[in-house]
Structure 1
Amino acid sequence: MLSAILFLVGVAHAILYLRTRPRKNLPPGPKPLPILGNIRDMPDGTTPEYQHWIKFKDLYGPISHVSILGQSLIILHDRDAANAILEKTSTKTSGRPQFVFGNEMCGYNQILSFKPYGKQLKQHRKLVHQQLGTKTAASRFRDVQDVESRRLLLRILETPEKLSTHIKTRVPVLPHRQSLADFPFQRSKRYNSEDDIRLQPRAAQTGSTSALDRADDA
């Protein structure tokens, strides 16, 4: 039994060592510890991160590398280096980390920001740009955003002790009502009312929520 445990420990140690050992094709960086990597070289929270990493630029140049428990991190300290890597060679460097549990098992890879770089990501990004990427497109949602932001602020003003509740209940409403803004008959019903758009600034002074109630009941 003991020999089996020692064998498994040895195998695990070998795997971790192979994953954490320095690779020849990586940028320069501080020498890592076995298994732990460069955990001692990470920001300690006492100084701003940019001040911590700027020291690496002085030591290793515009691009440096650290590893944490086998996970490699490439740090770009220079605008020219960032442009050369992330713009000119974007087809090779635009990938995102893929996590089996989160992305594949929980389905997070269907979220735009988690999608791997490829044809599907480009198509989805194009669709998002068509809806939100220009001032004209985004202007369709101004009425909705104005109403919902006023509602949220008025509720916070009246009951500030329920700040967390207001954020949880009002903020998620915005994306849903933005989708309704695409339909003129629903948009006119909910948001074209003078009271709803202005929400009567004096309501914040008098404590009246009649405009809010009428908008919610619409």
Structure 2
Amino acid sequence: MFLSLVLLGLCICFIILQLRPRRPKNFPPGPPVLPILGNLLHLNPQNPLEDLEKLRKSYGNVYSLFLGPKPIVVINGVKAMKEAMVIKAAEFAGRPQDTIVNDVFDVKGVILADYGTSWREHRRFALMTLRNFGLGKKSMEDRIHDEIQHTIKTLDESIGRTLCPQVMFHNVASNIICQVLFGTRYEYDDEFVTTIIQCVTEITKIFNGPWAMLYDCLPFIRNLPLPFNKAFKNIKRSSDLVLRLLNEHKNTRTPGEPRDFLDCYLDEMEKKAEDSSFSEDKLIFTALDLLFAGTDTTSNTLLTAFLYLMNHPHIQEQCQQEIDQVLEGKDQACFDDRHQMPYMQAVIHESQRIANTVSLSIFHCTTKDTELAGYSIPKGMMIVQNLSTVLKEEGQWKYPHEFNPDNFLNDQGEFVKPDAFIPFSAGPRMCLGEGLARMELFLIMVTLLRKFKFIWPEDAGKPDYTPIFGVTLTPKPYPMKVQHRL
């Protein structure tokens, strides 16, 4: 009997050892792996960034983890990031196709589409269309300034009382991109805007949490009625709203005379052959890609900027002095004014660095067998860019762990942008909306700081700078008080 139990125990141990994932030869190192779970117990699903940093210190700037049985490679630091995303860009430009993010966005738009001809066509089209509708031009500046007036009205009505700026900044960011995509500005209580913001918030919350990690690691649970199903319902609500707009556009458009992104895409569909990758489904999800990204990243950067400016009043005052000096006698700022505002530029870029909005970027995967930092990386391997390690890397920044505009100023007070500043990632997968985001951040912050003084309420206690982790890092809701300057 005893011998039988020993043999049974040995058999169980042998089976468990056989089930344990193994790293291939010359694969990046990493922590010991458990059967079935992989390295899930090494990560806090609520916010794994600290855990990833501890692993980097133990295993180097290129290491591997197992999410369940699935291996991934985590890239840290400027040197490894540049090798993968710039020098070997095409080899690391794929998108993994077996995660909750990809399954929710079933018809891939631009951001989640895998590397290839269809992705290149759509990215080229999106960039060209954004430029045609004013990106980098005065017409886009005018759109942004028009929307800022609605934000100013909200702030004017809030003088003398405390407000929570989260919805306000989401509204301004979403309406600017809506005008480009759909040719329409929405009132802030409109069903379209409120539904989109609600869906973005709820989808992000699910992507942030443990259920998304379990979905990715344990495929057998995907058909069960679990909380991650809410993400699929919200994307259906969002896509139905865009479909309604698309049908309206088809009935009212004049071919060859586009009013917005939807019209341009419909024109492109008519030019292409029937077997083209351009389709109505692709259009809906491309629009959602741009809408979600354009709303979330810009609004979170603005929230971060004003959180720090309220609690660093000397920095806010120095910004306002520079703004007053440069804009003296002018009705409003223009984007070109940034060249005369080195300190303001430094503050905006420092806000982006500290916000670290897309801290783990959008996951990549390798398009062929390749190497990185001397390690062998097979085709189809999921790649996680830990941008946090770049934006706070020792040796790359004067003050890597504090909010300090001097990170972007030289000894002469001139604006400089270090190589480690890559909040929009790098290479061919670099964020499509970078140009629009830069213009929005400058014009919104300059205009609001010129008119208002932003104050941390006395009864609010100490600020909590710890963000909420997710697909994007989001500042925790906070209070704000506003006074007129002029």
The TM-score range, normalised by the shorter chain, is 0.5 to 0.7
Alignment partner, residue 93 of structure 2: 94
Alignment partner, residue 28 of structure 1: 29
Change (3 A) 1:35 1:149: same
Give, as a single letter, the amino acid of the residue that structure 1 aligns with 2:79. D
Give, as a single letter, the amino acid of the residue that structure 2 aligns with 1:41. H
Task: Answer yes or no: is the 8 Å Cα contact 1:28–1:65 preserved in 2.
Answer: yes
- SS of the residue 1:67 aligns to: strand
Alignment partner, residue 173 of structure 1: 175
- SS of the residue 1:112 aligns to: coil
Deviation by residue 1:55-114 (Cα, 9 ceiling, x = unmatched): 4344323310111223333111232222222223222221112147764675341x2111
Q: CA deviation at 1:28?
A: 0.6
Q: Unaligned 5+ residue runs, structure 2?
A: 1-14, 185-257, 260-330, 332-447, 453-486
Deviation by residue 1:140-191 (Cα, 9 ceiling, x = unmatched): 31111111122134135426769677667665433332354986xxxxxxxx
Alignment partner, residue 76 of structure 1: 75
Deviation by residue 1:170-213 (Cα, 9 ceiling, x = unmatched): 65433332354986xxxxxxxxxx9xxxxxx9xx99xxxxxxxx
- SS of the residue 1:117 aligns to: coil
- SS of the residue 1:64 aligns to: strand
Counterparts in 2 of 1:4-15, with a 5 A limit?
none
Mapped pair 1:129 → 2:130: no
Give, as a single letter, the amino acid of the residue that structure 2 aligns with 1:151. H
Give, as a single letter, the amino acid of the residue that structure 2 aligns with 1:115. A
Give, as a single letter, the amino acid of the residue that structure 1 aligns with 2:115. Y
Cα distance in 1 for partners of 2:171, 2:59 equals: 49
Cα distance in 2 for partners of 1:71, 1:53 equals: 17
Cα distance in 1 for partners of 2:52, 2:99 equals: 30
Q: CA deviation at 1:128?
A: 2.9
- SS of the residue 2:64 aligns to: strand
Task: Answer yes or no: is the 8 Å Cα contact 2:33–2:39 preserved in 1.
Answer: yes
Cα distance in 2 for partners of 1:118, 1:45 equals: 34
Give, as a single letter, the amino acid of the residue that structure 1 aligns with 2:86. E
Change (3 A) 1:146 1:85: same
Counterparts in 2 of 1:65-214, with a 5 A limit?
65-99=64-98, 103=102, 107-109=106-108, 111-132=109-130, 137-139=135-137, 140-158=139-157, 171-178=173-180, 180=183
Cα distance in 2 for partners of 1:55, 1:102 equals: 26
Cα distance in 2 for partners of 1:166, 1:128 equals: 27
Task: Answer yes or no: is the 8 Å Cα contact 1:95–1:117 preserved in 2.
Answer: yes
- SS of the residue 2:178 aligns to: helix
Change (3 A) 1:82 1:166: closer
Task: Answer yes or no: is the 8 Å Cα contact 1:132–1:138 preserved in 2.
Answer: no
Give, as a single letter, the amino acid of the residue that structure 1 aligns with 2:90. T
Mapped pair 1:42 → 2:43: yes
Change (3 A) 1:133 1:105: same
- SS of the residue 1:72 aligns to: strand
Cα distance in 1 for partners of 2:31, 2:168 equals: 47
Alignment partner, residue 61 of structure 1: 60
Change (3 A) 1:133 1:66: farther
Which protein shows a greater Rg? 1
Task: Answer yes or no: is the 8 Å Cα contact 2:64–2:73 preserved in 1.
Answer: yes
Task: Answer yes or no: is the 8 Å Cα contact 1:156–1:162 preserved in 2.
Answer: no
- Larger CA deviation: 100-109 vs 118-127: 100-109
Task: Answer yes or no: is the 8 Å Cα contact 2:42–2:51 preserved in 1.
Answer: no
Cα distance in 2 for partners of 1:43, 1:102 equals: 19
Q: CA deviation at 1:45?
A: 7.0
Q: How many residues align?
A: 167
More helix as a share of residues: 1
- SS of the residue 1:29 aligns to: coil
Q: Could you tell me the TM-score, scaled by structure 1's length?
A: 0.57
Cα distance in 1 for partners of 2:78, 2:167 equals: 42
Task: Answer yes or no: is the 8 Å Cα contact 1:102–1:108 preserved in 2.
Answer: no
Q: Unaligned 5+ residue runs, structure 1?
A: 1-13, 184-193, 195-200, 206-218
- SS of the residue 1:150 aligns to: helix
